[in-house]
Chains A and B, each alone.
Chain A
Amino acid sequence: MSADNLAVVALDFPNPEYHSLRQDDFVEIPSNFSFALLNSNIRTLSTTAAPGSSSDITGFLYVPEPRSCNASHSYVPQNVTRKASIPSTFHLIAFAPWINSICTLSYLEAVQTDPLRAFIFYLPDNNTETPPLPNDIAWGLGDGGSWKTNNHFPVYAVPGAIGAEIMNQLSLYSGNVTSVPNGHDLANFGVSPSDYIRLAADIDLGSKSTVPSLWIFLLVVLAILLVIIGVSSFVMHAIQRRRRRRLARRIANGEVDIEALGIKRLTVPQELLDKMPMYTYTASSEQTTADDTLHEKEIPIVNSVPRRNSDPTKPSVPLVSEASAINPPPTVLSEVTEATNLTTSTQHSPPSFNQPTCAICLDDFIVNETIIRELPCRHVFHPDCVDSFLRDNSSLCPLCKKTTLPRGYCPTNITNAMVRREAMIRRRGERLVGHGNYAATQNPVPRLRSAVLGGRRVFSAPARTDSAAAGMDVEMQPGPNSSVPAPQPSHIPLLSRIPGTGPHAAVNTPVRSVTSPDMTRGSVSGIQSHPGFGVIAPPPHHQSRREWARQRALAMLGPRHQHDDDLDDVQTSITAGEARRPMWKRVVGKVFPGPF
């Protein structure tokens, strides 16, 4: 460490021969009574054995006695402070003029056995500037500078004028108290005559930090950046957390169905399955005629039953079915009742089952024998069939694709990705529909949802082939659909598809009737029209679409042969989507959730 400045003061301390010294026995003589000097023009010649930074080198100054340096007599007074004039056991700092190399070498030789902390030289040239640099010719001893490392102490140099003054003062502060300048005053002041008053030097090695200021600046900037990043990350996490909670609340309230929107495949846990009611199947054909009339008038009031609390302990209430086993009404019917029973809930009638067949195993129900499970959408199945489907595959009714999860049940951990998709779907839907009727945007979901998911599809692409497939979308309900005015034969499958999304509309707009084709078409006609069909997806991006279709085809062919295709479609595609993102994007997304 290079020295910053040199301080020389006169210290008064008791004679250690009389009593042992303590730290506070050293008294600095006030400068108006004694010599004091502070000079920052100090040059470090060698740092050998110098202490680390922020510590000072202190010690009493003395002038060593070289064996062979006659020239020193002209620079060093006779009565200068010598080693003998300082009690032993103190730290010492040697002080000498740099006259020539012979003298310097002999000075250095003379102090080899002394307990030196440092050696201070001065060039006797009366200069007040900082002495020359360590590699200057003035400090050459003819050994290439190796003398600097051969000592057990650091070596410093002070300007010639300062050095001469210190040398002069050293000759004054070498005797007893009364002989020093102002000695009599000091004695009167209370300084014991047996005390020593000597010059002590303090070489300040600099207490400043070793880090350059530019680095500090950079560190400060970095710290500020980190704080900004931390704060914004925290805020964004908080916002996302709030959004997740809001979405969870809306899911629990039944405002959003994330499975129908294609955001996340859900399943129904066993305990919820157990709560769904089970009945013995009954059907009576007596009421067929009357019911058909009713259906034609589109007032299926008979079916409107207030939603009973699903209680497995009272499974068999008296059952009267208004549905005929021969000519059962279509799936749409139950949707109609769903919509109407909100308004006509005062009427009570027992549950009725208008499906003669289990849509999953295609077996007919046997009257008064088969145990059936009724879903909240009033579709009935064999418990064995539908339970495994709901438990392992989907939470949506196999027939109408309405969720079977009860209200107030938020089935899964809401992730930021789900929040993003839901918001995207909602925004896109609002833009498409114009006046922001979310219920209407949810209605054409099966076609829309893939379109709205844009580049990162979750489910599959929109199905244009529905028009081709339409004619033969054979479902479980055979027989003509008398309740629906059917101008085009091809719209029956359309309707049987619409109920799948109808429930969302029913939740939001309870009075909406799904059976009205005009309304169905009207609600989506703002999007795009197509002869015969209400909904057409926006034009696809052909390239990505083709690529997607290829991959889908490969994916379908590949794993399905090896193992049960139990992979959750949505999950896989979400995970695959996450995996496709570059690492840095994922990290940024973790730190700043939301827009990424």
Chain B
Amino acid sequence: MSAPTKRIVKELTEITQNPPAGCKVRLPDESNIYNWEILMDGPADSVYAGGHFKIALTLPHDYPFKPPSINFRTKIYHPNITNDDKGAMCLGMLRPDQWKPPNKLMAVIVLIQNLLSKPEPDDAVEQGIADAMKNRRAEFEKTAREWTGRYAGR
């Protein structure tokens, strides 16, 4: 087993055995450990509460030297997640220049959860949503809950 595969299996085992609260990780394709699927419940204290979000986590082939990429498969109204069919999220330690090999995927998942709890409108990829969040908080929360119910409902 090659070194990156070994590490991925190790991390996968660790996360499967001891998953973060409200998260489930599985491999859509058992033969391809580079593509993970995360099922994440919206944090209870956030506007996404009650939602169930499907997230694709794709590992590069030279993981852990390059960061994984995160894609929300479930549409979400969030300033840091692109509002398109990709649903890409790229910030913090996921940035290629800030990624360090010691970073673990567990930390990545926790990062996503924290980002759902506390969006970062100052570092947004969806400026409209960020503006709404900063200036029209009520409207933002309403839309976010609406979307959560519409797209991320059970």
**B65 shortest CB reach to chain A, Å:** 4
* Segment with Cβ contacts to A, from B47-55, B88-96, B138-146: B88-96
Contacting B91 at CB < 8 Å: which of A359, A398, A465? A465
Contact call A540/B122, Cβ cutoff below 8 A: yes
The residues in A between 530 and 582 inclusive whose CB is less than 8 angstroms from any CB of B are 540, 542-543, 546, 549-550, 552-554, 556-557, 560-561, 564-566, 569
Contact call B90/A556, Cβ cutoff below 8 A: yes
Q: Which residues of A contact B91 (CB under 8 A)?
A: 463-465
Contact call A466/B92, Cβ cutoff below 8 A: yes
CB-nearest residue of chain A relative to B59?
A560
Contacting A460 at CB < 8 Å: which of B98, B117, B127? B98
CB-nearest residue of chain A relative to B61?
A564
Q: Which residues of A contact B89 (CB under 8 A)?
A: 553
Query: CA–CA, A463 to B107, complex, Å?
Result: 16
The residues in B between 118 and 141 inclusive whose CB is less than 8 angstroms from any CB of A are 118, 120, 122-127
Q: A393-B62, A398-B102, A552-B90 are in contact. Are A465 and B115 (CB under 8 A)?
A: yes
CB-nearest residue of chain A relative to B97?
A459
Q: Is the interface of A mostly helix, strand, loop or mixed?
A: loop
The residues in B between 23 and 60 inclusive whose CB is less than 8 angstroms from any CB of A are 58, 60
Query: CA–CA, A360 to B80, complex, Å?
Result: 28
B104 at the interface (CB under 8 A from A): yes
A14 at the interface (CB under 8 A from B): no
Query: CA–CA, A543 to B126, complex, Å?
Result: 10
Q: A393-B65, A472-B114, A553-B86 are in contact. Are A546 and B125 (CB under 8 A)?
A: yes
**A261 shortest CB reach to chain B, Å:** 11
Q: Which residues of B contact A438 (CB under 8 A)?
A: none
- Cβ proximity bits B72-107 to A, threshold 8 Å, 1 near / 0 not: 000000001010001011111101111011111011
A468 at the interface (CB under 8 A from B): yes
Q: Which residues of A contact B62 (CB under 8 A)?
A: 392-393, 564-566
Contact call B96/A465, Cβ cutoff below 8 A: no
Contact call B101/A389, Cβ cutoff below 8 A: yes
Q: Which residues of B contact A566 (CB under 8 A)?
A: 62
- Cβ proximity bits A460-487 to B, threshold 8 Å, 1 near / 0 not: 1111111111011111100000000000
**A128 shortest CB reach to chain B, Å:** 90
Contacting B123 at CB < 8 Å: which of A401, A463, A471, A474? A463
Q: A465-B111, A546-B124, A553-B125 are in contact. Are A474 and B65 (CB under 8 A)?
A: no
**A369 shortest CB reach to chain B, Å:** 17
Q: A393-B62, A393-B65, A557-B88 are in contact. Are A468 and B111 (CB under 8 A)?
A: yes
Contact call B102/A460, Cβ cutoff below 8 A: no
**B70 shortest CB reach to chain A, Å:** 9
Contact call A446/B98, Cβ cutoff below 8 A: yes
Q: A262-B97, A468-B114 are in contact. Are A362 and B125 (CB under 8 A)?
A: no
CB-nearest residue of chain A relative to B117?
A468
Contact call A362/B110, Cβ cutoff below 8 A: no
Not counting A382-B3, A459-B96, A546-B124, a sample of 10 additional A-B residue pairs whose C-beta atoms are within 8 angstroms of each other reads A262-B97, A359-B101, A360-B3, A360-B7, A392-B62, A450-B97, A464-B91, A464-B122, A553-B90, A569-B96
